[in-house]
Amino acid sequence: MVDVSSKAETAREAVARGRVRMAASTLKLLRGGKTPKGNVLATAHLAAVMAAKRADEWIPLAHPLRVEAVDVSFRYAERPAAVHVECRVRTTGRTGVEMEALTAVCAAALTMVDMLKAVDRTLVIDEVALWEKRGGRSGAWVRATKGPTAGGRARSRNRARR
């Protein structure tokens, strides 16, 4: 585990995104609220918040953090049929919340798969990535949106004093 005891506490924020691809008929069921296991997105939302708060239990050597805010959003996409997940995590601390945001996205996506697998065996979780981070010595970082993989490159915006 990295020693962060000498670092100053600063406001930290991270945004992660991912996607769950599915059959068009599954997306239609989801949008209509007619899935057999109940409200998929509400359950996935709770899973994301719970996972962000306990990321240190999932990831060896991750620091336990006081998570102060978790914002979760979902967006439907028709082509290909999918649900996009975005999790924004904030805290004030000595280390960033990137792992918390990524863990939240993964937990939301896994929950959707669990709740939809009875109606669709083709579900795929993909494009899970960190998209933004702010705070700390390295400042702000935002994933570039241009390039062959729509985000394959990153640019750094370092606003921290040296």
Among 3, 56, 114, 126, which one carries the catalytic annotation? 114
d(CA 103, CA 115): 18
CB atoms within 10 A of CB 44: 26
**Beta bridge partner(s), residue 16:** 87, 130
* 114 in active site: yes
Determine the Cα–Cα distance for residues 116 and 114; give it in Å rounded to an integer.
Answer: 6
Catalytic residue numbers read 114
